Copies of this chain bind each other. A is one copy, B any other.
Amino acid sequence: MSFELLTRDPQTAARCGKLLTAHGAVQTPAFMPVGTRASVKAVSPEELQECGAQIILANTYHLLQRPGPRIVERAGGLHRFMGWEGPILTDSGGYQVFSLSQHRRIGEDGVIFRSEYDGQTIHLTPELSIEVQNALGADIIMAFDECPPANAPYEYVREAVARTLRWAERSRAAHRRDDQLLFGIVQGGPYEDLRQESAQKTVALDFPGYAIGGVSVGEEKSTMYRVIERTAPLLPEDRPRYLMGVGTPEDILFAIRCGVDMFDCVLPTRNARHGYLFTSQGPVRIRNARHREDFSPLDPECGCYTCRRFTRAYLRHLYVEGEPLALRLLTLHNLYFYLALLRGVRRAIAAGRFGELWGRPAELFRLGQPSNRSS
């Protein structure tokens, strides 16, 4: 088995685990920084590691088009191509095809869409997605799924669930490498019976891990929380559960409470580029004029490189002037915040305190600082 359950929180469904991959172990619950085009924007592999990243995510949809799987394969795979020696997860491309592509046409075989890079027509099937993911060589790869829009009517989602199940079987059949874990994806939109059906039948296919998909796509929070709460317990205890594309610190803590183990989201990295920072004192918009002469760190309780070395006044100056260093420093901080938060969560679960702390992200962040090992 690739997943070992280590601790259960006595009060909630939260748990600590260890996921073994070909490039090392991942302590769960884990957050995966997003490296869309084989680079977590503005951050080097060493910096990712310093921030506490254990595993990162890359996007099949983008890498399929640029630089193309053959180049990555000839480079020796994604790890060597991008210089990240830890575990990597690639998504299947499904989500991006449905959320980014224009002129897509869905058929039983797969999806035909127009490349945003060069206008070329691409026919993405479960077989091609897996072939590409086999070539990229990530440690965890995802079945090719159909991700319907948030407002899709019941009938539409029902068909998408059925097709996603057929595509899951085809994905499994196409998979060629036993050093990669292939995860199945549960769809079903906001419809509880469809989520149930999707979960049950996906689990029947016996994947080493399961994702909950289609949750982050513009849904109401209450709907999203209900879906997470009801879907997570449908997945087997002894396999990792991955909530795709979620979310804010609060969303993540809620999902951990429901028994979810893995997360990815562009929020920390994208918000950093928009000057929006997560701190233990709440959000900071660095371009705000109040930071002009603030010579304190972004977050006085944070141990990240940015907070150890630079003031808000300097960060604001860099950001306002469009200096490229701003992107890096702000991204490093937000990633560190998320990754320390998750470390704090793991410590809280291990100490049996998660039930008491799950609503207090600032405290969990503090608990997750490397210096707080004793807490």
* A residues at B contact (CB < 8 Å): 37-39, 41-45, 66-67, 71, 74-76, 81-83, 292-293, 295, 309-311, 313-314, 316-318, 320-321, 323-325, 327-328
Known interface pairs A37-B317, A39-B318. Does A295 touch B325 (Cβ–Cβ under 8 Å)? no
> Can you sample 30 A-B contacts with CB below 8 Å?
A37-B317, A37-B318, A37-B321, A37-B323, A38-B317, A39-B323, A39-B325, A41-B323, A42-B324, A42-B325, A42-B328, A43-B325, A44-B325, A44-B328, A67-B292, A67-B313, A67-B316, A67-B317, A74-B293, A74-B295, A75-B295, A75-B314, A76-B295, A81-B311, A81-B314, A83-B309, A83-B310, A83-B314, A324-B327, A328-B328
Whether B292 and A71, one on each chain, are in contact in the complex, defined by CB atoms closer than 8 angstroms, is: yes
| B residues less than 8 Å from A43 (CB atoms) | 325
In the complex, the chain B residue whose C-beta lies closest to that of A332 is: B44
Whether B325 and A41, one on each chain, are in contact in the complex, defined by CB atoms closer than 8 angstroms, is: yes
| B residues less than 8 Å from A311 (CB atoms) | 75, 81
| B residues less than 8 Å from A309 (CB atoms) | 45, 83
User: Which listed residue, B44, B71, B318, B320, touches A313 by the CB 8 Å rule?
Assistant: B71
| B residues less than 8 Å from A75 (CB atoms) | 295, 311, 313-314
**How close is A97's CB to chain B, nearest CB, in angstroms?**
19
Most buried by B among A38, A42, A314: A314
| B residues less than 8 Å from A314 (CB atoms) | 38, 75, 81-83
Q: How far is the CA of A295 from the CA of B76 in the complex (A)?
A: 10
**How close is A321's CB to chain B, nearest CB, in angstroms?**
5
**How close is A49's CB to chain B, nearest CB, in angstroms?**
13
Q: Is the interface of A mostly helix, strand, loop or mixed?
A: loop
Known interface pairs A292-B67, A293-B71, A293-B74. Does A324 touch B313 (Cβ–Cβ under 8 Å)? no
**How close is A149's CB to chain B, nearest CB, in angstroms?**
27
| B residues less than 8 Å from A323 (CB atoms) | 37, 39, 41
**How close is A62's CB to chain B, nearest CB, in angstroms?**
8
**3 tightest Cβ-Cβ pairs between the two chains A and B:** A42-B324, A67-B317, A39-B323
Q: How far is the CA of A74 from the CA of B310 in the complex (A)?
A: 14
Q: How far is the CA of A42 from the CA of B318 in the complex (A)?
A: 10
Whether A66 and B295, one on each chain, are in contact in the complex, defined by CB atoms closer than 8 angstroms, is: no
**How close is A151's CB to chain B, nearest CB, in angstroms?**
32
Most buried by B among A74, A292, A317, A321: A317
Most buried by B among A76, A311, A317, A325: A325
**How close is A297's CB to chain B, nearest CB, in angstroms?**
12
**How close is A323's CB to chain B, nearest CB, in angstroms?**
5
Most buried by B among A43, A67, A310: A67
In the complex, the chain B residue whose C-beta lies closest to that of A83 is: B309
Q: How far is the CA of A136 from the CA of B348 in the complex (A)?
A: 47
**How close is A239's CB to chain B, nearest CB, in angstroms?**
34
**How close is A253's CB to chain B, nearest CB, in angstroms?**
30
